[in-house]
Structure 1
Amino acid sequence: MANGSTRNLYLAATVACMTGALFGYSVGYIGGVLVLPSFLHHFHLDKLPPAELAAAQAGPVSAWLVGALFGVPLGMPICSRLGRKSCLTFSALLYVVGATLQLVDVNKSLALFNFGRLLNGLGVGAGTLVSPMYICEIAPLSERGMLLSGYQTAIQAAALAGFWAACAAHSNFSDSSSLQWKIPVAVQLLPGLLLLFGSLFVPEAPAFLADKGDLDAAVAALAWLRRLPRDDPSVKDEVEVLENIKAATATKEHSAGFLRQLRSRSLRKRLILGSGLMIAQNMVGLNALNYYAPVIFMSAGFTSVSTSLLLTGLFGLVKVLTAISFMFVFVKMRSNRFWLKFGSAVCGISIVILAFCVRDILAYDHIRDDRFDAQGVVSVLMVYVFAFAFGVSLGPISWNVCSEIFPSHLKAKCCAITTCVQWLFQIVIAGVTPHLLASLGWATYLVYAVFCAISFVWVTFFVPETKGVALGKDMDDLFELSLGSAVAEEHSITEVTSLLADGRCLARRDSVGLPI
């Protein structure tokens, strides 16, 4: 990247990735905390009948999911009007206030705890909207895929930390101590405060500043991110792009309403692509696998609770290591389409094998023999294979693609739609999976295998390659933008938001990022 340094760029991207840490930790710790004896006793849940206990334990999970869904449209106007940086701060504030309310001991009220989880979810929802967008807009083309993949890495690492925080609290504090459940809850404040204070020091995305007409501030932010003087030649190259973006604010198409711009075939194709990837991310079966993993591990012969927890923790570790490997290695090896097809195929194969192993395991009704043990071990391996395949495909790439395919001035609105789709289907799958498992049993996994096959076919025939495609005109060309006027051509040029790349990034590239 010219003669500058990536230090500031990586710092800003790390701050943005903290919203992924909020996401992951919120998911990782809650399951363990909800079954801690101290939590159950503190909120008077330990004497409830099973049905009422299950309903009470579902409250914090449901509140968080609903909050995350509505946090996306809540953050959209902030992200669009006040800026990406302001939305990062907004996300952090909601999360920190929510975490604090969960620790406030007012009449041992579970309702207050649930309200805190709702605020957590609102903060996470706003964060899932803005962070991939911000990272995409500050990253040069050569670093874009790697830095965007850091978001998924943060999610998985924090989820693993949350899981082990609950386990450690159970092991190190007595069941009568409120610290047993309060410490895992309090740990939420760490990523929340890091994001809050970090967002105050990182710059606004230069693309947003230029889009709003503040070219001088955009140049200053760009120079800070690249650690280069404002008059450096590579900065000047990007300044030219900034000036074009500023000019775009005056075009008729740029000022047109969102509903009017939806008439564009190009924009509709991008929304279908982004929403489809988010749907596929949820429908291939990861949540179903997460739901049943402990039973699978115990069926493999690892019947003690501690060993089952260890294997579940290793499942999380596999996801973390896969996310890191994709971020630094796999993302640079092959195209997005290759990994999406690879992931869909391997996830489908592994979940079919898992389904038939679980069928035979359940048929034996926990009778121990060599065949049963072998099938149990294969089941465990398929869980890990699935985690790997998902972690190099739909897991990170869905977020990456959605953050880069939309025009700069429409990105907040379009990403709000695709992110809402993601959360909506996550809620649907979380609600439907237990019922499918109760009614279909092992065949539930075959249902998700069908969706893996659908995902493979869809990617093969309908998903274009976006890796290595510069933002702006190159991305417009990829989606066949044709507005049929000279103004449209000008608009297409001014939408080149690879302002965050050096001059070489403006070259047209092929599907795997190599100059033509």
Structure 2
Amino acid sequence: MLNGYDSSSFNAIQGSDHFMEYFHHASPSVIGSVNTAYTVGGIVAGFFVSAPISDRFGRKWTMYIGAGIVIISSVIAAFTPRDMGGFIASRTITGIGQGLAMPAGPVYINEVATANQRGMLMSLWQVYFGIGSFVAYWINYACSENADKLGNWDWKIVMLFQILAPIIIITGMPFCPESPRWYIQQDRTEDALKALSLIRDDPEKIQAEIQEIQQAIAFEKEMNPGRYSPLWKDLAIRYRFLLACGINIGQQFTGQGSLSMYSTMIYKKVFTDNKQIQLINALNGTFSIIFTLNATWMVDRFGRRALFLIGAAGMSVCMFIVAATVTETPEQDDGSKSKPVGIATVFLMFLFALFYKPSWGATVCIWTAEVFSMNIRAQAIGMATQSQSISNTILQQIFPIFLEKKGFYAMYMFGAINIVLFIYVYFLIPETKGVALEHMDTLFGGVDHAEKGVEIVQHDSKGHAVELEEVNERVDKKEATV
């Protein structure tokens, strides 16, 4: 939700005459720089800061810190002087907060979820991106309806409401247990047992899960020590890391990254009324929630690969058709397109979202967050997901200029890219449905970490792992409470 609101808020306020006047009618390249600053802040924090904090202090503290930074940046954005430099600085700080909090979220969800529920729970993560976008667009629509009364507050209110999701995070996380896997990695097995007992209801399964986690982590400490080096030294880990970067870069090049950031500018090529455009954005945010909910029942039923392939094919068709619809039809005297063309454009954009949301929207996050072993999970997820930001930085800087000069011909490019993504998934991406985190390495040419860790755990004389008998005794003590 934090990401959904922040990603949509600046797109929403670009249609405000008061915002453009306040910042002296910034050029498209300056508008691109605002979005670039946001993503660069996320890249720096996601690559270099989030994982060390997450591994040292836990997943929860990383989310706390990121949420707190976004609150500060929201206030700066709303009350910055009439200088785009101050607004750009606020977006950079927002990106830093996002870069800290965002990688820790999927890491946490995957480490507390069971294998058969992991896909569904991670798809809900993406649903709440839609909810954040929904809130941003409807707040902006309400403000645009009252723009004359609100004046500059028609966009300042939108920016101030960025504090909503961080407040929910900061007030809600104390009621959640820390990741049991993180506790075991810190040699705090008793705490891991308590945490797991809060989110599992079968003592025997708790016992087995604790044992498998210990075995896998013991193997990783013995055979793949280090936080970053295994990403390059271990062939199986390096292979999946490159695959993960590939699908995360591909997610932005589907066209969705540009649509979410610049839909206001895109629709201005078809419509002239800002209120109409903001209503379309708000409705898109509403339907995005419904579309993403499809992933909650599809991803663990049909698998990750099927959604990737169907999504890429559907998005490609939508992009080719919408490009032809807009570029091959004449403009009216006021510069807009005819009503039938406008309706067809909105329908195709919404159809694009229908294909994108449960597939390359939700499933990229699911696949990326579940394929890495514990010792490099936070680092790999942070770096792979921030490869989205790197690709998005390029698109955000060039897309508004491209759109201004070439219009909807840009959509032909996205259609072709989606064909490439279909081929990429078909030949390279393995299915991960129902595979436990501790057994994931076998899909990428590696060994089973839990299986190989059995002997290490049983013969560990240094006390780095707790013996099975000790785990059994502790589980028995907790059984009544469970």
Amino acid at match of 1:101: I
Superposed counterparts of 1:162-181, under 5 Å: 162-172=136-146, 174=148, 177-181=151-155
Tell me the distance in 2 between the aligned counterparts of 1:60 and 1:435.
Answer: 14
Aligned partner (choices 252, 266, 288) of residue 282 of structure 1? 252
Kindly indicate whether the alpha-carbon contact (under 8 Å) linking 2:143 and 2:154 is maintained by their aligned counterparts in 1.
Answer: yes
Provide closer, same or farther for how the CA distance between residues 34 and 351 of structure 1 changes in structure 2, counting only shifts above 3 A: closer
Tell me the distance in 2 between the aligned counterparts of 1:483 and 1:243.
Answer: 13
State whether structure 2 residue 325 is matched by structure 1 residue 350: no
Provide closer, same or farther for how the CA distance between residues 480 and 438 of structure 1 changes in structure 2, counting only shifts above 3 A: same
In the TM superposition, what is the alpha-carbon distance from 1:36 to its structure 2 partner? Answer: 3.4
Aligned partner (choices 80, 83, 86) of residue 58 of structure 2? 83
**2:428 — aligned with what?**
462
Kindly indicate whether the alpha-carbon contact (under 8 Å) linking 2:218 and 2:453 is maintained by their aligned counterparts in 1.
Answer: no
In the TM superposition, what is the alpha-carbon distance from 1:338 to its structure 2 partner? Answer: 0.6
- Percent identity over the alignment is 22
Query: What SS is found at the alignment partner of 1:481?
Result: coil
In the TM superposition, what is the alpha-carbon distance from 1:259 to its structure 2 partner? Answer: 2.4
State whether structure 2 residue 298 is matched by structure 1 residue 336: no
Tell me the distance in 1 between the aligned counterparts of 2:226 and 2:312.
Answer: 38
Higher RCO (CA < 8 A, seq sep 6+): 2
Tell me the distance in 2 between the aligned counterparts of 1:402 and 1:491.
Answer: 28
**2:400 — aligned with what?**
434
State whether structure 2 residue 279 is matched by structure 1 residue 305: no
**1:237 — aligned with what?**
208
Kindly indicate whether the alpha-carbon contact (under 8 Å) linking 1:296 and 1:376 is maintained by their aligned counterparts in 2.
Answer: no
Kindly indicate whether the alpha-carbon contact (under 8 Å) linking 1:159 and 1:316 is maintained by their aligned counterparts in 2.
Answer: yes
Tell me the distance in 2 between the aligned counterparts of 1:116 and 1:258.
Answer: 30
Kindly indicate whether the alpha-carbon contact (under 8 Å) linking 2:140 and 2:278 is maintained by their aligned counterparts in 1.
Answer: no
Kindly indicate whether the alpha-carbon contact (under 8 Å) linking 2:122 and 2:366 is maintained by their aligned counterparts in 1.
Answer: yes
Superposed counterparts of 1:51-450, under 5 Å: 52=26, 54=28, 57-58=31-32, 60-72=34-46, 73-104=48-79, 110-172=84-146, 174=148, 177-226=151-200, 228=201, 232-245=203-216, 247-248=218-219, 251-256=221-226, 258-259=228-229, 262-290=232-260, 293=263, 304-327=273-296, 329-361=297-329, 364-366=330-332, 373-450=339-416
Provide closer, same or farther for how the CA distance between residues 236 and 184 of structure 1 changes in structure 2, counting only shifts above 3 A: same
Provide closer, same or farther for how the CA distance between residues 338 and 206 of structure 1 changes in structure 2, counting only shifts above 3 A: same
Tell me the distance in 1 between the aligned counterparts of 2:145 and 2:96.
Answer: 31
Provide closer, same or farther for how the CA distance between residues 57 and 430 of structure 1 changes in structure 2, counting only shifts above 3 A: closer
Q: 65-74 or 429-438: which moved more?
A: 429-438
Tell me the distance in 1 between the aligned counterparts of 2:188 and 2:3.
Answer: 32
Provide closer, same or farther for how the CA distance between residues 399 and 483 of structure 1 changes in structure 2, counting only shifts above 3 A: closer
Kindly indicate whether the alpha-carbon contact (under 8 Å) linking 2:51 and 2:379 is maintained by their aligned counterparts in 1.
Answer: yes
Query: What SS is found at the alignment partner of 1:92?
Result: helix
In the TM superposition, what is the alpha-carbon distance from 1:441 to its structure 2 partner? Answer: 3.9
Tell me the distance in 2 between the aligned counterparts of 1:337 and 1:418.
Answer: 18
Provide closer, same or farther for how the CA distance between residues 260 and 403 of structure 1 changes in structure 2, counting only shifts above 3 A: closer
Tell me the distance in 2 between the aligned counterparts of 1:274 and 1:77.
Answer: 20
Structure 2: 5+ residue runs without aligned partners?
461-482
In the TM superposition, what is the alpha-carbon distance from 1:129 to its structure 2 partner? Answer: 0.9
Provide closer, same or farther for how the CA distance between residues 295 and 373 of structure 1 changes in structure 2, counting only shifts above 3 A: farther
**1:507 — aligned with what?**
none
In the TM superposition, what whole-angstrom CA distance separates every residue of 1:397-434 from its partner, at most 9, and x where no partner exists? 11111110000111011112202211101111112223
Kindly indicate whether the alpha-carbon contact (under 8 Å) linking 2:42 and 2:95 is maintained by their aligned counterparts in 1.
Answer: yes
In the TM superposition, what whole-angstrom CA distance separates every residue of 1:296-335 from its partner, at most 9, and x where no partner exists? 75776x65433333223222222221112322x2224311
TM-score by length of 1: 0.80
Provide closer, same or farther for how the CA distance between residues 360 and 143 of structure 1 changes in structure 2, counting only shifts above 3 A: same
Tell me the distance in 2 between the aligned counterparts of 1:23 and 1:345.
Answer: 26
Structure 1: 5+ residue runs without aligned partners?
1-20, 495-516
In the TM superposition, what is the alpha-carbon distance from 1:254 to its structure 2 partner? Answer: 3.7
In the TM superposition, what whole-angstrom CA distance separates every residue of 1:252-277 from its partner, at most 9, and x where no partner exists? 31425632562222112211211111
In the TM superposition, what is the alpha-carbon distance from 1:38 to its structure 2 partner? Answer: 4.6
Amino acid at match of 2:166: G
CA RMSD of aligned residues (A): 3.1
Tell me the distance in 2 between the aligned counterparts of 1:125 and 1:90.
Answer: 11
Tell me the distance in 2 between the aligned counterparts of 1:55 and 1:446.
Answer: 22
Provide closer, same or farther for how the CA distance between residues 311 and 124 of structure 1 changes in structure 2, counting only shifts above 3 A: same
